[in-house]
Amino acid sequence: MSRAFTRDGQEGEDAHVLPERPVSTERNFVTARGLALIEKDLRQARNAFAAAEAAGDRIAMGNASRDIRYWAARRASAELVAPASPAAGIRFGMAVTLTYADGHEKTWRIVGEDEAEASAGRISHASPLARALFGKEIGEDVKVGPQGAEIVGIDVTPEG
């Protein structure tokens, strides 16, 4: 095959560049911790780009650029939400302890989408569980998938 229509030294590079990260259409509510994490990830992406540029690694530069675009968009749209009083029921940023029908307890903190990590007990405000919890109070029942749970605790202390 003729090399006349190829970019010199870049054959196959596009196969290693990651696709764009989709940006959620939900409002970008964040806790103070979540905002700090977004800013940290944006700094890391910028540092990764600088390192890739210094090394002349175009694939790494493309991937770092992708991350910069994503984190810059998330930072620009971030809406810091201050902790609320539980008087109005469960809201964003609160930790909610549930007792499930089988007797086990689990605490879930309602956070922003980029901060969510179910294995650490943090769920997105856009998740079905968070939406089912909003406005409820201690003693109320909530349907969680195929089983029910009772709200047994609410903590408004921000995660640190």
**pLDDT, tens digit (0-9, with 9 covering 90-100), for 125-157:** 999 999 999 999 999 999 877 888 999 999 988
Provide the pLDDT for residue 5.
47
Q: For the ranges 4-18, 113-127, 136-150, which has the lowest average pLDDT?
A: 4-18
**Domain match, 74 and 118 both:** no
> Which structure tokens are listed for 132?
């089912």
In 3D space, the residue among 36, 23, 26 whose CA is nearest the CA of residue 115 turns out to be: 36
* Final residue before a domain boundary, out of 46, 62, 80: 80
Q: What angle do CA 62, 41, 133 make, to 5 degrees?
A: 120
Residue 101 lies in a domain: yes
| Phi and psi angles of residue 23, each rounded to the nearest 5 degrees, phi first | -100, 125
**Domain match, 64 and 91 both:** no
* Final residue before a domain boundary, out of 56, 80, 104: 80
Number of other CB atoms surrounding residue 95 within 10 Å: 19
Question: Domain tally for the chain?
Answer: 2
**Distance (Å, whole) CA 24 – CA 157:** 27
Domain that holds residue 128: 86-155
**Distance (Å, whole) CA 87 – CA 148:** 23
Provide the pLDDT for residue 160.
61
User: DSSP state, 65?
Assistant: H
Residue 10 lies in a domain: no
What average pLDDT does range 51-69 have in this prediction?
A: 96
* 89 three-state secondary structure: coil
Provide the pLDDT for residue 159.
77
Residue 99 lies in a domain: yes
pLDDT at residue 17 above 90? no
